[in-house]
Structure 1
Amino acid sequence: MNTRPDPDLTLTRMATAFAALGSEHRLSVLKTLVRAGPEGLSIGELGARAGVTGSTLTHHVRVLAQAGLVSQERRGRSIICAAAAYPEMRALSDFLLSECCADAAAPHAEHDHG
């Protein structure tokens, strides 16, 4: 039984996440949520800190949530957003660095990120 992840599915998942980050506004929103920590921020506070508000913020949060990078939770009358996918974000960086220098003639120790 093969328990290794399907490389095509992994590539698709990574491409979806990277595509979600392909906007300065979305990257700013995610960075703001990462800085806020696991408690997250209300949608109003998130908008104020990230400099993105209204329907534009709603759109960007939705794209990030669909990529699995952000969660949204209703608390009373507020919607709280949080960077819920710290493991997913680590997987993105690991994906990029996992084969660092694999094709180089002489891999350098300073490139070892593992």
Structure 2
Amino acid sequence: MFRALSNPNRLALFQRLMTCCVPGTKCDPQQATKVCVGDLGEGLAIAPSTLSHHLKILNDAGLINMQRRGKHIDCWVEPAVLQQLAGFFSH
């Protein structure tokens, strides 16, 4: 997970997706904020192919989830992932 987050662009993408379920709060995973890939890259100087590559690495590391919705792909962070990362730092 930390290797995936070591890249500044991937860290920025992950931080954009961490809008729901701050560790220590109660949040329904069904209500976790989902962001379309096209919207996620706005404002970042990342080519679409590079954005897809970074998201694949985050997904492979178990940091984000991705789901196709027609022509769109939604991305989100599960609350359990944030709890797992928080648990690492609390020990």
The alignment's TM-score, normalised by the length of structure 1, stands at 0.63
Q: Deviations over 1:1-51 (max 9, x none)?
A: xxxxxxxxxxxxxxxx1111001100100011112x4231111100105x1
Q: Which has the larger radius of gyration?
A: 1
Following TM superposition, by how much is the alpha carbon of 1:77 offset from its aligned partner in structure 2, in angstroms?
Answer: 1.5
Q: Which residue number corresponds to residue 44 of structure 1?
A: 38
Distance 2:53 2:61 in 1: 13
Distance 2:41 2:84 in 1: 27
Gaps of 5+ in 2: 21-31
Instruction: Give the alignment's Cα RMSD to 1 decimal.
Output: 1.4
The alignment's TM-score, normalised by the length of structure 2, stands at 0.77
* Bigger share in helix: 1
Runs (4+) of structure 1 exceeding 6 A deviation are none
Change (3 A) 1:53 1:20: same
Q: Which residue number corresponds to residue 94 of structure 1?
A: 87
- RCO (CA 8 Å, sep 6+): is it higher in 1 or 2? 2
Number of equivalences: 79
Aligned pair 1:27/2:11, yes or no?
A: yes
Work out the percentage of aligned pairs sharing the same amino acid. Answer: 32
Q: Deviations over 1:81-112 (max 9, x none)?
A: 1123x2122212221221xxxxxxxxxxxxxx
